[in-house]
Amino acid sequence: MLLVYASLVGCEKHIILLAGQSNMSGRGGVVNDTWDGIVPDESRPSRSVLRLSAGLVWEKAQEPLHRDIDVTKVCGIGPGLAFAKSLMHKDSGVGQVALVPCAIGGTNISQWARGSPLYNQLVRRAVAAVQGGGTIRAMLWYQGESDTVTLADAELYKGRFENFVINLRQDLVFPLLPVIQVALASGSGPFIAKVREAQLGTELPNVWCVDAKGLQLQPDGLHLSTPAQIQLGKMLAHAYLQTIPSPIHSGAARRVPKFDCLSLFHRIAGR
């Protein structure tokens, strides 16, 4: 049963899916499997930012956002809260941001294929998120470090990612779901450039790319530092705002369809 954070329930929630692997889950401030517990102002809780827990309960968002989702690793600061607070700062029309953490560290893009446990969990949590009202507005995706290990995975990345997005849009009954992916800042293997090429060259409509190259890394050389995660969150907010049609030019702007909560619920429930 989906519960809600009572004082913040409303149909104006901007629901944002967070998916991918460890840099979306958040390792900012984590060194030697220990989180330093430091939360910058940009990532501090806000009454207007919610988080969907593993138990499908809406609650006030606080770091680490993925603490009960990415449970086999130590989670720290990620980009989600910084994204939400930056978004509300940039656009006063955004009343609430409701984050749906789904990222799992160390995962390959093949593990997010349709029908896999990770994919199914993402869809289930998306379905649950809309039952209390609100609209899914976008998915933030940061993944690919694990696909830099072998040349085969790196070469297959573009096709696998595009299939993932196509399938997710079909299953969420949202054919132009905005997807904002992050081009890698690092990787677990030697084929970082190949995966980055795939990410920067994605050809699907309404898929945007934010480049993390050059952002500060933790001492492990793989994960973004806390300041880098904050910067990335702000970059993602800026990119997200580009997906929203300008009201001044609404006749000519590319419109992003809203998520049809009721039809999705009945479609999934009937499976």
Residues 6 or more apart whose CB falls under 8 angstroms from that of 196 comprise 183, 184, 213
Tell which residue, 16, 22, 59, has the closest CA to residue 188.
22
Rg (CA), the chain: 17
Q: Read off the amino acid at residue 106.
A: G
- Catalytic annotation on 22? yes
From the list 146, 171, 223, 225, the catalytic residue is 223
From the list 36, 68, 89, 220, the catalytic residue is 220
What distance in Å separates the CA atoms of residue 181 and residue 211, rounded to the nearest whole number? 9
What distance in Å separates the CA atoms of residue 188 and residue 179, rounded to the nearest whole number? 24
What distance in Å separates the CA atoms of residue 260 and residue 258, rounded to the nearest whole number? 6
- Catalytic annotation on 249? no
Residue 178: how many CA atoms within 13 Å on its side-chain side? Answer: 25
From the list 22, 43, 86, 225, the catalytic residue is 22
- Catalytic annotation on 153? no
Active site residues: 22, 220, 223
